[in-house]
């Protein structure tokens, strides 16, 4: 498997409106956009930082996985996403190696990306996302 870079770090927040000013005004990062990902019941604000992004994740309902995370842990780092060259091949390799996948088949993420999560039990407690950016593959 070829990992190309850290695509983004996902941070769970209760409210984008409350969280954005710290990143935009105090850290001086540029807000690239806000997108709703209906499939994951989140609103995502993303900031570009070098070749990576910081993504703030706000739940859009009580049944959102981010809502569950916030109840359990409070706001904080939710996941790390690695850009992979071939997401299907990466999943296949992980399954062969005995890793537990949350997504055995890729699904839709923000920015038109294809994504798949590895269960944190298989990745040292860190929820890990594989990500194939949408700018090269359009589905």
Size of the site for Co ion (CB under 5 A): 3
Q: Which of 49, 40, 56 is nearest to 5 (CA)?
A: 49
Near Co ion by CB under 5 A, which window of 22-30, 65-73, 77-85, 97-105? 77-85
Q: Which of 83, 85, 25 is nearest to 51 (CA)?
A: 83
106 binds Co ion (CB under 5 A): no
- How far apart are alpha carbons 68 and 123 in whole angstroms? 20
81 binds Co ion (CB under 5 A): yes
- How far apart are alpha carbons 70 and 78 in whole angstroms? 9
Q: Which of 19, 46, 83, 129 binds Co ion (CB under 5 A)?
A: 129
Residue 50 CA: distances (Å) to CA of 5, 28, 47, 106: 11, 13, 10, 26
Question: CB of residue 106 vs Co ion: minimum separation in angstroms?
Answer: 13
Near Co ion by CB under 5 A, which window of 12-20, 25-33, 63-71, 79-87? 79-87
Question: Residue 92 has which token pair?
Answer: 């296949």
Near Co ion by CB under 5 A, which window of 2-10, 17-25, 31-39, 85-93? 2-10
For Co ion, the binding residues (CB under 5 A) are 10, 81, 129
């Amino acid at each position: 498997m070829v990992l190309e870079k850290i695509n983004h770090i996902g941070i769970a927040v209760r409210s984008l409106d409350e969280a954005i000013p710290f990143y935009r005004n105090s850290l001086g990062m540029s807000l690239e956009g806000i997108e709703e990902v209906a499939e994951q019941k989140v609103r995502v604000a993303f900031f570009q930082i070098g070749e990576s992004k910081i993504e703030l994740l706000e739940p859009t309902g009580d049944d959102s996985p981010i809502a569950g995370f916030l109840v359990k842990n409070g706001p904080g780092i939710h996941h790390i996403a690695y850009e992979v060259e071939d997401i299907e091949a990466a999943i296949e390799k992980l399954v062969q190696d005995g890793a537990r996948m949350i997504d055995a088949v890729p699904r839709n993420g923000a920015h038109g990306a294809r994504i798949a999560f590895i269960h944190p039990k298989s990745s040292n407690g860190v929820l890990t996302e594989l990500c194939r950016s949408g700018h090269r593959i359009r589905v």
